[in-house]
Amino acid sequence: MKRYLQYLKNYKVQCILGPLFKWIEAALELLVPLVMANVIDVGVEAGDIGYVLRGGGLMLAMGAVGFGCALFCQRSASIASQGFGTNVRNALFRHINTLSYRELDRIGSASLVNRVINDVNQMQSAVAMIIRLVVRAPFIAVGSVLLSLLIDWQLGLIVAAASVGVGLVLWIIMQKTVPYYAKNQQKLDRLAQITGENLEGARVVRAFSNRENERARFDAAAQDMLDNSVRIGRISAWINPLTYAVVNFGVAVILLLSGAKADFGALTSGEIIALINYMTQILNAMIVISNLVSLFTKAHASMNRVSDLLDTPSSMDEGGSAAFDFSAPAFEMEDVSFSYAGTEQYSLSDISLRVPAGATVGVIGGTGSGKTTLVSLLPRLYDASKGRVRVFGQDVKDLPVRALRAAIGVVPQSAALFSGTVRSNLCWGNARATDEELAEALRAACAYDFVQQKGGLDQPVAEGGKNFSGGQRQRLTIARALAAKPRILVLDDSCSALDFRTDAAVRANIAALEGVTTVLISQRASSLQGADVIYVLEDGRIVGQGTHAQLYAGCPLYREICDSQARAEE
């Protein structure tokens, strides 16, 4: 818990004054039964109406002051808890962005989203309750016990025993429910994962008429979460009955014994009413605590999940301070092997290659041959398990990550655009790009005409770029990479949605760029025929390299790909 105090350092005033004003309200509430007892024993017994009215006025004034203190505490709790939640989310988001793909793949996007939103919400609510109620409820309970002991130590012991009994009930219930709350968060992750998959793949689900199966999968996950929640509910349902039973039993014993004491004159009527009031205050305080138990149990489980994420170190550091040597080859790989987290099977094995600066390189192979994995090692989206990867003469681990990724423009397979405008999307790699530079990038990507037709650079882009076609999205992502003016440009099957004519035009425009090393990954052999060298991958290994003519003559796999595609085109 100590680690989270830093996120409240800007709200010290609220964290101090909020509980202080709540204590003032609680102290006034504890004094009310004593004032009432005095009114009964003095004013009512003597028939002094003025004394009764003055006592009533004093209690009203105490109530008004207490109400004002409660409002101030509520405001302080809201400011501090909202600020705390914002700070924790910012810290979580910053940390997530330092993690490598290896950690992100292992944790999963659904779990990450839930931790940033739902888990932090639980912690935020706990902070508000700590300021508002946690300091008040124990103060009321302990104060009621102490004042009861001052009125009559024997009856006060009964009040103390009832308080201990209720506290014991709450502790047992909390111990039983904590594991189930942790499981509930995991099941919520699963539910969010299925929901996200169905929303992102809605067209696929409908195209295959698979709605019933997906609905059944969602229902199963929802039912699993429901069953776990019911278990929590069954245990938590015992809180109120048991606390009421303990407190009411204490009230009954007090009434029984206080009646006998009143007969002997050891207790006055006002003192008996004060004792009953204190028992009622303890009951109310314990009810508040019982309701807080479930909240803090959830918050505890959420805090553990957030802490686990914050304690997850990145398997990838920020690199060293080496500088590029632009006279060296654009990139080299020496005996590189790579395996994804959770598997011992290598996706790439013994990869060695050397690409000179300014060259155009093609990479081709069947599905799952390791093409995307290969280029992911260049900007350090992943680190090689074995071997060395060099970019412009330096090991990628010795280069600053920001500088490395600024020098490499990657256009991924999925054309991912972000809500905003065309301009805001194009400026991702170069925030200071001028309109002329953006227009130049759009022309090179054959995207200038349709952008102008749709309204220019300030045309809105919907979530995921859904107001553009698949081919338009691909060309915009190519333009985004070109606007950053990279030294190495990686096109990972990023022209798959383009027709042959547009594909050829884009490749010709990119080939005309000066000082840019281009890596083309494509399923189309025809798209790679003009490359200086083509690498053929199969099962994570290079099985052929050379020009189109050399590979067609000497690489059976490449010739098979070319012939099969030629037959398909015919």
Strand partners, 517: 488
Structure tokens at 231: 């278990």
Structure tokens at 293: 């138990």
- How far apart CA 39 and CA 55 sit, in angstroms, is 6
Whether the model clears a pTM of 0.85, i.e. scores above it, the answer is no
CATH class of 331-569: alpha beta
The confidence score (pLDDT) of residue 87 equals 93
How wide is the angle at C-alpha 569 spanned by C-alphas 568 and 570, nearest 5°?
90
Q: Look at residue 224 in the predicted model and tell me its pLDDT.
A: 87
- Residue 61 phi, psi dihedral angles, 5° rounding: -65, -40
pLDDT at 570: 47
Structural domain boundaries in the chain: 2-310, 331-569
Task: For residue 362, list its beta bridge partners.
Answer: 520, 534
From the list 421, 514, 429, the residue with the least C-alpha distance to 478 is 429
Query: Could you list the pLDDT tens digit for every one of the 570 residues in the chain?
Result: 678 888 888 888 888 898 889 888 888 888 888 888 778 777 777 777 887 888 888 888 988 998 999 899 989 999 999 999 999 999 999 998 888 777 887 887 778 888 888 889 989 988 888 888 777 877 887 888 888 888 777 777 887 888 788 778 878 877 787 778 778 777 877 887 788 777 767 767 776 677 788 888 888 888 888 888 888 888 878 877 887 788 778 778 877 777 777 666 667 777 778 877 887 787 777 777 767 777 887 788 788 888 888 888 877 777 788 898 888 999 999 999 998 876 778 889 999 999 999 899 999 988 788 888 898 899 888 888 899 999 999 999 899 988 888 899 888 888 888 888 999 999 887 888 898 999 999 999 999 999 998 888 888 988 878 888 888 888 999 999 999 899 999 998 877 777 888 888 888 898 888 889 999 988 878 888 888 999 999 888 999 999 999 998 888 888 888 888 776 454
Of the CATH numbers 3.30.420.40, 1.20.1560.10, 3.40.50.2300, 1.10.3720.10, which one belongs to the domain with range 2-310? Answer: 1.20.1560.10
3-state helix, strand, coil in the chain (%, to 5): 65, 10, 25
Q: In terms of C-beta density within 10 A (0-12 exposed, 13-18 middle, 19 or more buried), how is residue 512 classed?
A: exposed
